[in-house]
Amino acid sequence: MNGLGEPLDCEMFEKGLRTRRLGKKIHYLSEVDSTNLYARNLAEEGGLEGEVVIAESQSRGKGRLGRSWVSPAKRNLYLSVILRPKLSPLHAPQITLMSAVALAETIQSFIPLPPEIKWPNDILVGGKKVAGILTESSCAADRLFFVILGIGVNVNFPREEMPESIRDTATSLMTLSGALVDRTALALQLIQNLDRCYGDLEGHGFPAMAERWSGFFRLQGKRVKVEMMDQDVQGKAIGIDGDGALILEDETGTRRRIVAGDVIPLEPGR
Ligand code: BT5
């Protein structure tokens, strides 16, 4: 068990890992700009599917759309995985949704409260963000070369150490469970669950995964606002389609697909 501020136990991590594809090679870094950037460089130089990059801290942790991810040393989990899925670029968002299921299932076993997936890439507990996913693809028009799957989880991140910008919107597993959480055990379970869910996606296709995803989606049938790059739209959240897009229904019953954006609930979830 890691105490607060202790490093990850790399040996235990490697010995304990039972996976088919992920984590056969693990790159541990004490500090990096961003595990996603590091993994992308590896992938561009021929890095293999399943290679994992884990860092104790990030100086330039990335969120979506140029946002940043607060990444202090030895508190949390910051990892990226190289994936080379046999999917068309159109279906690459399925990787984010598959990962959200794996992440929610992992988090669920460390805390007494149910986690919620906030489309497309956040895990919330009690309305606060405990983890985020950043998937970045490299593709040509009809071919996906690789996907870098990046995950950040707030593990032993006390509220008083959080910068003010996130103090009221973020939480951590320690805060939620009332005890220090073993980061090595969490990382192990996360990689194993990702390995399993990735296999499920490949073996059984997206519909089965989408059903599990819906179990963690609490805004079904609820009114939401979606902030997109160029406009905001409001409507009732229906769910996701086969490409992982969010389906929104307006007052006239017209449905539209949203492929990217930030969801803001306008009424409480179920
Ligand atoms: C995300 O973006 O939620 C994706 C976060 C992915 C982070 C991982 S860490 C390992 C890998 N390597 C990287 O460089 N990144 C990935 P987005 O939905 O855009 O949310 C970003 C927003 O979340 C920020 O603008 C803040 O408001 C908030 N935020 C930043 N750091 C946070 C934290 N540690 N906990 C909770 N919220 C945070």
Encode pLDDT of 91-142 as tens digits: 899 999 999 999 999 999 999 999 999 999 999 999 999 999 999 999 998 8
> Would you place residue 1 in the very low, low, confident or very high pLDDT band (cuts 50, 70, 90)?
low
Instruction: Name the one residue in this structure whose structure tokens are 């192990």.
Output: 188
Helix (H, G, I), strand (E, B) or coil at 55: strand
Burial 61-80 (b: 16+ CB within 10 A, else e): bbbbeeeebbbbebbbbbbb
pTM strictly above 0.85: yes
User: Which has the higher per-residue pLDDT, 80 or 65?
Assistant: 80
User: Best mutation site among 27, 32, 67, 69 for ligand 1, i.e. most ligand atoms within 8 A of its Cβ?
Assistant: 69
Indicate whether residue 80 lines ligand 1 (CB < 6 A). yes
Indicate whether residue 170 lines ligand 1 (CB < 6 A). yes
Tell me the backbone φ, ψ of residue 262, rounded to 5 degrees.
-115, 125
> Which pLDDT value is given to residue 2?
52
Indicate whether residue 172 lines ligand 1 (CB < 6 A). no
> Which pLDDT value is given to residue 134?
98
- Asked if pLDDT for residue 269 goes beyond 80, the answer is no
Of 108, 97, 107, the closest CA to residue 207 belongs to 97
User: How confident is the model over 37-53, as pLDDT tens digits?
Assistant: 999 999 999 999 999 99
Indicate whether residue 261 lines ligand 1 (CB < 6 A). no
In the chain, % of residues over pLDDT 70? 99
Instruction: Give Dmax (Cα) for the chain.
Output: 58
Reply yes or no: is the peptide bond before residue 120 cis, omega within 30 of 0. yes
Least confident of 132-136, 142-146, 228-232: 228-232
Ligand 1, residue 55: give the atom nearest the CA.
10
Residue 209 in contact with residue 197, Cβ under 8 Å?
yes
Length of the chain: 270
Burial of 1 (0-12, 13-18, 19+ CB in 10 A): exposed
152, containing H or E segment: strand 143-153
Q: How far apart are CA 95 and CA 2, in angstroms?
A: 30
> Which pLDDT value is given to residue 148?
98
Indicate whether residue 154 lines ligand 1 (CB < 6 A). yes
Indicate whether residue 135 lines ligand 1 (CB < 6 A). no
- CA 102 to the chain's CA centroid: 8
**Distance from residue 160's CA to the centre of ligand 1 (Å):** 18
Ligand 1, residue 69: give the atom nearest the CA.
31
Ligand 1, residue 67: give the atom nearest the CA.
25
> Would you place residue 270 in the very low, low, confident or very high pLDDT band (cuts 50, 70, 90)?
confident
**Distance from residue 269's CA to the centre of ligand 1 (Å):** 22
- CA 186 to the chain's CA centroid: 14
> Which pLDDT value is given to residue 3?
66
The pair of three-digit structure tokens given for residue 178, joined into one six-digit string = 């009332």
Listing from the earlier edge strand, what are the strands of the sheet with 143-153? 26-29, 52-55, 77-83, 143-153, 128-140, 122-125, 116-118
Quickly count: other Cβ atoms within 10 Å of residue 220's Cβ: 13
**Distance from residue 144's CA to the centre of ligand 1 (Å):** 24
In this structure, the residue with its CA closest to atom 11 of ligand 1 is 150
DSSP codes, 64-125: STT-B----TTTSEEEEEEE--S--GGGTHHHHHHHHHHHHHHHHTTSSS--EEETTTEEEE
> Which pLDDT value is given to residue 115?
97
Indicate whether residue 62 lines ligand 1 (CB < 6 A). yes
> Which pLDDT value is given to residue 193?
98
**Distance from residue 130's CA to the centre of ligand 1 (Å):** 10
